[in-house]
A and B are shown apart, each in its own frame.
Chain A
């Protein structure tokens, strides 16, 4: 049995693409494929000239770190680290010190409406936590933003704010945005929405 069978899905660079569909239809699987967290059993996942399916695992990690930013439904911050350190976390994957980036992280957090960069992420409100997660995803200016139900655990007003940030950021940086969502308000703002039904494009 296959979770997902997609003949072809092309997303133009810099466009915003929503992925909708019932639970279990393969939306998260598609997103994980797009981000190189999964390799397809068959076929390819191409971003520009790069086919993720043929990269070595190490090269895929490197590609993801440089090119992709992930945002999750339940944020997945490290609650014991400050908001700032959550944003800086990916820097420590490739360097001993992230001190030089701290000011930039604070500035980005402020821009996204988080004014307490030194506060532990676990103590922030849910809306603030999702903003920190977005800051973490976009800090390295990735060409691709991947978000799995980024607003599903937020109330409507907060969700709208977070959606604004995501869309605005993708637009202003010319990033490609792939968003899995059930939220019509968020899907409405996409250039295109694809539907999945039982692992097939509908």
Chain B
């Protein structure tokens, strides 16, 4: 059996060479169209994964009644807003609650060279034992600080925080604004650094919650001045905190706790659930983008198809000569089809790479803005999309190939 009974490639190469200018433009156009679809898809998925990952450490959040989104954005993503405080006594109530595996306060309000300073407990710094410092140790005295992976300070450094929450887009620089609001006479020392989490917390400076309270003249939350850090907070009046993160013991406990803390001056929510709601709201926008990208691909492919039909028309004479010197119509079909399929294939591959490059660019931009580490390289869904586009394109390329295949030889020879 003759498997390879014909070889259209010499003619395909000759055709592509003959129209190399057009070919380059076609590849470019297809690549751009594909890259947009791939980029949007990869980006959207990566954003979803990264934001879900960032919320993993925050099973249940308790804050003052108000905007749920604002609480999540502030506590989980450190897009810090001035949010109202809840009574610090909640911390002790939670500590005593059998449904609670662990609870930790989260307090904001200060910053250092654009990095937010966050007060919490040593236990939450290690995410209740899941994390170990990459260097140094977790704070165990007031005025000690642990750095997120992206904070450009070193262990042993001392710094003075400033009041404010307006983080710079490019942290790491001093600003006049910060100078004006320095907490003079307050100095923290860096004792450790956390590994990279790929979340906005990588750019936070973590200090004991007690130190936050002290810095703002609220006492240390304990009866004794030299009490050990962390719960229980046994002061007569525990200072308020903007948010408490709670790790419930079981799923049922989580729902019970959420119900319990939805009233009495607090609000309780699952950040993951708020995210889902947010996604649903953004889903419409995403659908519009996806449809627009799809429409864009379709229009581009239609244009390429028209071009291919026109080119096949211009090549009628050339193909008629092939037939006159003995080529079966199938050969002409293959030559005409493969030429377009090769261009679309090249465009798809270039588009995948271009989309990957664009995704990486957008990811690093987003990481700079939000601290979310996006794994936004195109994955299987994008590969599937490109494969589908290639399939669609090669299917469309059958049209000019069929025209070439059907073209009568004798009249084709009279053309040109």
Q: Which residues of chain B come closer than 8 Å to A7, judged between CB atoms?
A: none
- Give the contacts of B1-23 with A (CB-CB under 8 A): 2, 4-8, 10-11, 13-15, 17-18
Q: Which residues of chain A come closer than 8 Å to B321, judged between CB atoms?
A: 72, 76
A77-112 interface bits toward B, Cβ cutoff 8 Å, 1 = contact, 0 = none: 011110001000110111111100000000000000
By the criterion CB–CB under 8 Å, are B11 and A58 in contact?
Answer: no
Q: How far is the CB of A122 from chain B (nearest CB, A)?
A: 9
Given contacts A79-B18, A92-B7, contact A37 B328 (CB under 8 A): no
Asked if B414 lies at the interface with its beta carbon under 8 angstroms from chain A, I say yes
In-complex Cβ contact of B7 among A57, A58, A96 (8 A) = A96
B65-105 interface bits toward A, Cβ cutoff 8 Å, 1 = contact, 0 = none: 00000000000000000000000000000000000000000
CA distance A97 to B328 in the complex (A): 17
By the criterion CB–CB under 8 Å, are A37 and B413 in contact?
Answer: yes
Q: Which residues of chain A come closer than 8 Å to B4, judged between CB atoms?
A: 95-96
> Chain B, interface size: which category?
20 to 34
Asked if B329 lies at the interface with its beta carbon under 8 angstroms from chain A, I say yes
Asked if A44 lies at the interface with its beta carbon under 8 angstroms from chain B, I say no
By the criterion CB–CB under 8 Å, are B324 and A35 in contact?
Answer: yes
- Which of chain A's residues has its CB closest to B18's CB? A80
By the criterion CB–CB under 8 Å, are A61 and B329 in contact?
Answer: yes
Asked if A38 lies at the interface with its beta carbon under 8 angstroms from chain B, I say yes
B305-333 interface bits toward A, Cβ cutoff 8 Å, 1 = contact, 0 = none: 00000000000011001111111110100
Asked if B410 lies at the interface with its beta carbon under 8 angstroms from chain A, I say yes
- Which of chain B's residues has its CB closest to A58's CB? B328
Q: How far is the CB of A52 from chain B (nearest CB, A)?
A: 13
By the criterion CB–CB under 8 Å, are B325 and A137 in contact?
Answer: yes
CA distance A35 to B323 in the complex (A): 11
CA distance A61 to B321 in the complex (A): 12
Given contacts A72-B321, A79-B18, contact A93 B409 (CB under 8 A): no
Q: Which residues of chain A come closer than 8 Å to B410, judged between CB atoms?
A: 29, 32, 37-38
By the criterion CB–CB under 8 Å, are A89 and B10 in contact?
Answer: yes
- Give the contacts of B363-405 with A (CB-CB under 8 A): none
Q: Which residues of chain B come closer than 8 Å to A57, judged between CB atoms?
A: 329
CA distance A97 to B4 in the complex (A): 9
By the criterion CB–CB under 8 Å, are A95 and B317 in contact?
Answer: no
- Give the contacts of A48-82 with B (CB-CB under 8 A): 57-58, 61-62, 64-66, 68-70, 72, 76, 78-81
- Which of chain B's residues has its CB closest to A136's CB? B325
Asked if A158 lies at the interface with its beta carbon under 8 angstroms from chain B, I say no
Q: Which residues of chain B come closer than 8 Å to A93, judged between CB atoms?
A: 6, 326-328, 331
CA distance A137 to B326 in the complex (A): 10
Asked if A28 lies at the interface with its beta carbon under 8 angstroms from chain B, I say yes
By the criterion CB–CB under 8 Å, are B324 and A90 in contact?
Answer: no
In-complex Cβ contact of B323 among A37, A62, A78 (8 A) = A37
Q: Which residues of chain A come closer than 8 Å to B331, judged between CB atoms?
A: 92-93
Given contacts A37-B413, A78-B14, A80-B18, contact A92 B6 (CB under 8 A): yes
CA distance A68 to B327 in the complex (A): 12
Given contacts A89-B10, A95-B6, contact A70 B324 (CB under 8 A): yes
- Give the contacts of A123-138 with B (CB-CB under 8 A): 136-137
CA distance A100 to B4 in the complex (A): 16
Which of B324, B410, B413, B414 has the most chain A CB atoms inside 10 A of its CB? B324
Given contacts A76-B317, A80-B18, contact A70 B325 (CB under 8 A): yes
Q: How far is the CB of A80 from chain B (nearest CB, A)?
A: 4
By the criterion CB–CB under 8 Å, are B10 and A81 in contact?
Answer: yes
B240-275 interface bits toward A, Cβ cutoff 8 Å, 1 = contact, 0 = none: 000000000000000000000000000000000000
Q: Which residues of chain B come closer than 8 Å to A65, judged between CB atoms?
A: 325-327
Q: Which residues of chain B come closer than 8 Å to A32, judged between CB atoms?
A: 409-410, 413
Q: How far is the CB of A81 from chain B (nearest CB, A)?
A: 5
By the criterion CB–CB under 8 Å, are B413 and A61 in contact?
Answer: no
CA distance A100 to B342 in the complex (A): 27
By the criterion CB–CB under 8 Å, are B10 and A85 in contact?
Answer: yes
By the criterion CB–CB under 8 Å, are A37 and B325 in contact?
Answer: no
In-complex Cβ contact of A81 among B14, B325, B329, B409 (8 A) = B14
Given contacts A32-B410, A37-B410, A80-B17, contact A64 B11 (CB under 8 A): no
Which of A28, A64, A79 has the most chain B CB atoms inside 10 A of its CB? A64
Given contacts A80-B18, A89-B11, A93-B331, contact A61 B323 (CB under 8 A): yes
Q: Give A contacts to B, CB under 8 Å.
A: 28-29, 32, 35, 37-38, 57-58, 61-62, 64-66, 68-70, 72, 76, 78-81, 85, 89-90, 92-98, 136-137
Q: Give B contacts to A, CB under 8 Å.
A: 2, 4-8, 10-11, 13-15, 17-18, 317-318, 321-329, 331, 409-410, 413-414
Q: Which 7 A-B pairs have the closest CB atoms?
A: A65-B326, A96-B4, A80-B14, A76-B321, A92-B7, A80-B17, A32-B410
Known: A79-B18, A93-B327, A96-B6. 13 other contacts (CB 8 A): A28-B414, A38-B409, A62-B326, A64-B324, A70-B324, A72-B321, A76-B318, A80-B15, A80-B18, A81-B14, A92-B11, A95-B7, A97-B7
13 sampled A-B residue pairs with Cβ under 8 A: A37-B323, A61-B328, A62-B326, A70-B325, A78-B14, A89-B10, A89-B11, A92-B8, A92-B331, A93-B328, A95-B5, A95-B7, A96-B7
